[in-house]
Amino acid sequence: MKLIGLIVVIATGLLLLWGVTDFPDWADPQSPASTHLSPHFLTESIEETAVPNVVTSVLGDYRGFDTMLETTVVFAAGIAVYTLLRRSRRKDLREKPEMIEEELPHQALIVKTICRLMAPFMQLYALYVIAHGHHSPGGGFQGGVILGASFILLAIGFDLKMVLKRMREKTTLVLGILGVLIFSGIGMVCVLLEKNFLDYSALSAILPATDIIMARSHGILGVEIGVALAVMANLVLIYVNLSSDGKYERGL
Amino acid sequence: MEFLLAKYNYWFYILIMMVGFYAMISKNNLVKKMIGVSIFQAAIILFYVSIGAKRGATIPIIEHGHDAVHHIDPTAYINPLPHVLMLTAIVVSVSTLGVALALISKIYAKYGTIEEDEINEQLTDV
């Protein structure tokens, strides 16, 4: 079995190596990937959407459908982990590790203090990454992951109960749903304003003092906030359920 | 030699991908299989991001002032498209890994093992 696997892997590798001979050289400015669609994004992004960070404008505007469905995938994964692990009544064949006695408070004092000090700064930085994604590297996905990581850091440094007290299960679920709803809701508002789904230029009719171009910039910001909420809530949901096996008792 | 150096990003991506692929098809332990899937995904991400590189170009954030925008040279900025695709793919790969681990946890609860052949034995016995 292992030998067959090795043969298949090496055959695949050789096929790929053979295919690579036709590929463009590394960092070639004239490679096919860089000469068809991407020059349009690079030259028109500022004029069409007023967003200098082209990655953000492509993510939120030009490829809005893709991003919306990726957010939905993250949400669906969070819900899948939740339904698989939470409150199962099936019999359990696992060998349970022995519970370790709660350590004395002074033993983890340094870890706890540093985690407590780090968390607010991480969350502040995450908000900066989300809000400043138009002008610097950042955006909804990155900021959402940093926000989720701040909660996971607290769950590791303290225990799961401390996080669940601040970020209840219901809140996490509602935030995850709200994130996807914000994204698709902004798309629906565009339809109600008689433009295409996710065509943010329609938003200039309801946002004060915005022309068509700035409306697209603001639309991207709204969408990024939705993405950040969904990613943060679902990462926390996945971590909390996986680390405590859906029982929400102690965690790692 | 010139040929090897000109396309070195592809050699590394194929090497990493073969490691992940081997773990996916020949490891018996389900968690090790998932580690293989993650290595495979890392190889694909490396491949996409390396496609976006351009020699002498900078990150795709357009330099601009408050006045009218001057002419923008597309060769001065790297290709943003692979970055957008991989940005979403990384987050999605983390969440799908979570789903896989939850499934493995449930399999362990039902069969008492995560070795594939032992699960197969239990399935054929019944």
Q: In which band, very low, low, confident or very high, does the pLDDT at A111 lie, cut at 50, 70 and 90?
A: confident
Q: Which long-range contacts (CB under 8 A, 24 or more apart) does A115-120 make?
A: A115/A153, A115/A154, A115/A156, A115/A157, A115/A158, A116/A154, A116/A157, A116/A158, A118/A150, A118/A153, A119/A150, A119/A151, A119/A153, A119/A154
- Say whether A43 and B72 touch across the interface (CB within 8 A): yes
Whether A176 is covered by a domain: the verdict is yes
- What is the per-residue pLDDT across B69-100, written as a single tens digit (0 to 9) for each? 567 888 889 999 999 999 989 998 999 999 99
Residue span of the structural domain in which A231 resides: 64-86+109-244
* Number of domains composing chain A: 1
Q: What is the pLDDT of residues A177-196, one digit of tens each?
A: 999 999 999 999 999 999 99
Q: What class has domain B2-55+78-125?
A: mainly alpha
Give contacts of B88 with chain A, Cβ < 8 Å. 59, 66-67, 70, 141
Residue A208 lies in a domain: yes
Q: Domains of chain B: which residue ranges?
A: 2-55+78-125
Please give, rounded to a whole number of angstroms, the shortest distance from the CA of B12 to a CA of chain A. 11
Quote the pLDDT of residue A25. 87
> Is there a domain that residue A102 lies in?
no
Q: Give me A136's structure tokens.
A: 């610097």
> Closest-CA residue in chain A for B60?
A54
Q: Is residue A1 part of a domain?
A: no
User: For chain A, how are helix, strand and coil distributed in percent, rounded to 5?
Assistant: 70, 0, 30
Q: Is the CB of A55 less than 8 angstroms away from the CB of B50? A: no
Chain B 28-67, residues with CB within 8 Å of chain A CB atoms = 50-57, 59-64
pLDDT interval class at B109 (50, 70, 90): confident
What SS3 state is found at A194? coil
Determine contact: A11 vs chain B, CB below 8 A: no
- The tens digit of pLDDT for each residue in A31-70 reads 888 888 889 999 888 888 889 999 999 999 999 999 999 9
Q: If we measure between CA atoms, which residue out of A200, A111, A218 comes closest to residue A154?
A: A111
- Predicted confidence at residue B50, as pLDDT, reads 92
Note whether residue A22 is domain-resident: no
Residue A233 distance to chain B (closest CA, Å): 11
B21 touching chain A per CB within 8 A: yes
Asked whether residue A37 is domain-assigned, the answer is: no
Q: By CB neighbour count within 10 A (0-12 exposed, 13-18 middle, 19+ buried), where does B11 fall?
A: middle
Check pLDDT > 80 for residue A79: yes
CB A55 within 8 A of CB B88: no
Q: Which tens digits make up the pLDDT trace of B15-72?
A: 999 999 999 999 999 999 999 999 999 999 999 999 989 988 899 988 877 666 567 8
Q: Is A31 on the interface with B (CB under 8 A)?
A: yes
The complex's ipTM works out to 0.89
B22 and chain A in contact, CB less than 8 A:
yes
